[in-house]
Structure 1
Amino acid sequence: MLPIPIRRPYEVERLPQTRLTALLSLLLRASDLLVLAVAAIVAHKLRFGGASMSIEFERAIARALLFTLVILGPSSTYRGWRAKDWPRHMLRLFVLWTAVFIAGVLYVAVLKVPGVTSRLWWGYWFVGAVAGSCALRLVCLCVNRWAHAHGHEVFRAVIVGRPETASRIAIGLRSTLAAETTLLGWFSVDENAAPSMSGLQHLGSVNALRHYVESQGVRQVWLSPGEADSHWTTQVLDALKHSTADIKYVPSLAGDAIFSGSVETLSGMPVINLRSSPLDGEAQVIKGIEDRVLALLILVLILPVMAVIAVGVKLSSPGPVLFRQKRHGLDCMPIEVWKFRSMRVHQETAGAVTQATRHDSRVTRFGRFLRRTSLDELPQFFNVLQGTMSIVGPRPHAIAHNDYYKSVVQNYMQRHRMKPGITGWAQVNGLRGETDTVEKMAKRVEYDLYYMQNWSVLFDLRIIGMTLVKGFLSKAAY
């Protein structure tokens, strides 16, 4: 089996970002550099009037940009903006900007760099950079609060535990993640538990958890049974094995932290990720940008080829050029996947989808060429631009196949914690075409989960490169 790396048990991470805060973070990183450069130019005009800027000043600005990347880049000033943390956040930002300018001044002083010793210029520049940076974060705070107030990027969450542990988690969520989380209520691990708790709705026993999570679109399940209730953890994981919800375990004792999941903190409580999203908010944004940029470039290159294929499909047999089929996308949401039609128009039995097999009479001669070369999947680049698919990711299967395989292949539905892809790690390793045995599907899922746990932009580019070299032709694609 392929090893699936797991983070160290006591590795403390920040609580996950939403896609909005991740996007704001990336924009803020670029904006800080722009503000720094603009502040330097404005300061030069205030100090020296209309005089042109010498090369020494330009070099000082370039050094400051480098110092900013080194000092501000790794800091927490780009992750989350909550009103109650605002004074502390601004103080930290002031200290970091001070460190940037001290580094710049020391460089000039120690190396005796001529031409940039004007104290007024440095002073104007510092004030402008700090003021501009603070203003940017105020804008981000307002955008974040407006989005949360209108229900955007808000996680729906439930708690599983006993009244005392559920109350502890609820207090932590409301004090730390109130804007990002809508707490729907709690499920008791004891069927005889008190049905009510101050300010927190009781949603029933743990037996009702699975249906509620699926019907209400719950994104996070916070689990904290008592010391005598450890068996409920297994029951909850089993009940949610087909769900893509994150599961977070809050141990009753510090000694309980014996799992191999990553660890966060919530209002001082250790939180173990029994299952978490393979891509946090920042990674989602980066992968989304990667997908759309590459898809746009690829579509510009292949549009003539797609036009020729469209004509070929139309001439091969009566029917539409494109074949549209419902598949499961991110978080098991239904999406419509587009392909060039490779079969003759036919009627499937209701609720059934028959995979193409060798010498399948439904496949046209031209369609067999398209399927063997994967050219039938080129319209899916429009799915990528639409945002329902990625270029690289687990291949989407028919919904009827998902309903079957989720019961016979372990962790099958966890593939849907990421957008489906046109190509994937499984496909470039030869796992394409018909899956006529459960073992073949299990192997494909194994490769998909490995990719999800090890995602990076370089890994995506590697898979795209392997697809170009050997991924188009396959004897297993009928």
Structure 2
Amino acid sequence: MNSKTLDHLLIAITVLLDICFIATAIVVAYWVRFESGWTPEVLSLHKGGSPPLDDYFRLIPLMAIIWLMTLKALKLYRPESNATFSAFWTLCKAAGISLIATLAALFFIYHHDVYSRWVMLLATGFSLVGLFLGRWVLYRFRQSIHAQGMGVNRLAIVGNYDVRVEKFINVLNTKADSGYEVVGIIGETAASSQQPVVNKGEIGVTNPSHNLLPESQLQSLGKSQDILELVRKHRLDTLFIVSPTVPNDTILQILHACEGIPVQINVLPELSEFIRDSRNTITFFEDIPVLQLRETPMQGGRGIAKRLIDIVLSASALIALSPLMLTIAIAIRLTSPGKAIFRQERVGRGGTRFKIYKFRSMQVDAEEKVGHVWAKSDDPRQTRLGKFLRRWSLDELPQFFNVLKGDMSLVGPRPEMSGLIDTFRESIPHYLARQRVKSGMTGWAQVNGLRGNTSLEERISYDRYYIENWSLALDIKIILKTLWAIKKGI
């Protein structure tokens, strides 16, 4: 059994198991709701007794179709999808979408019948558990099959060995469920290439004593002009062509030679260090392919939604907190000379400079005396009231005005003092990446304990993660974690 046959078989089994779990979940949910006696009678919508089970049997095709379409759309029927936490989280999203879609379909299709929402909710939960367990069992089964050498995808590298090939082979060696076996390397001058050492018994060693390169256990299969013969001789399923070590003319010759055989052909591009994940898309201008290495974050509908959330929440916060903010302003004026509001130039999105607002927590002219430096927790420049305000992050409240104006967002990398930008951009790699989005009142780095005078390199790493993985759900998570941190006085 080859790898493609195994993948197709496991996908078919997964679909059948999903249908069985969904059907079983509906029946079990019906029993729990109406027959078990575990739910209080006050929840019943049927005053004349339990509805007939046959009514709920009619839901099985509807729920199954909705679930299968959702799972397909979320790419949960791909061979590489497995029983990881990430896959479970995606299944949770599929469950939510399927529940909403099912309730909507019931409203339009069976609007004359009354179905228990508790049955729908329980059936969704039971389906979620069943689908995940089924995938976990098949995942373990696939691992055991691969461990016996069955269903393995036999691949060869075409071209010269370089750092990309080394990294690629290392990934396959460390990923137990990859299902790949590196058979060897094909090149114009394979015998003179520098190949990696692959230990006996690891991926890529089929016959360590046969036709080995002088300083390597990676098998030299031959030259690319004999590609068709080599694919058939070594029963290769996949070719990985290393670009640009293989000329375009040679790639075209390989594609032409392999037209009549079922072999998958991939390219390890020269730009692989810039391509991070599936978000690097390819678009076409007429017949010219263009690879997108980076997109402008927070644009389109989701960007508009983020801005609307900023406006609504900042305006609501200013209204709700206005008595507290007025009290703090009066207290500052009474306990120390100077203005209650401190304004400082900061740098935001695209290098735009703006004035950030904060309740003054330092002595007057503190910045003029020492210049642009970060404040410390035991900073002697702090006033007694300022120390209290900083502990509970109350000095940040005026920044809701910055959010309302559009200078900042509720969530994003913290804005830096303008006087420090030139220093950091030269000494910290990727420092300016944080200026691709609006600055925020709180951010991913801050809720992970990186506030104030902490490692700047680590903060930049967290800021880049936020930018590259941004979503409205991540924003909500950061806001909730911020509120929890404030509650603890961190």
Does TM-score exceed 0.5, indicating one fold?
no
Larger Rg computed on CA atoms = 2
TM-score, normalised with respect to structure 1: 0.44
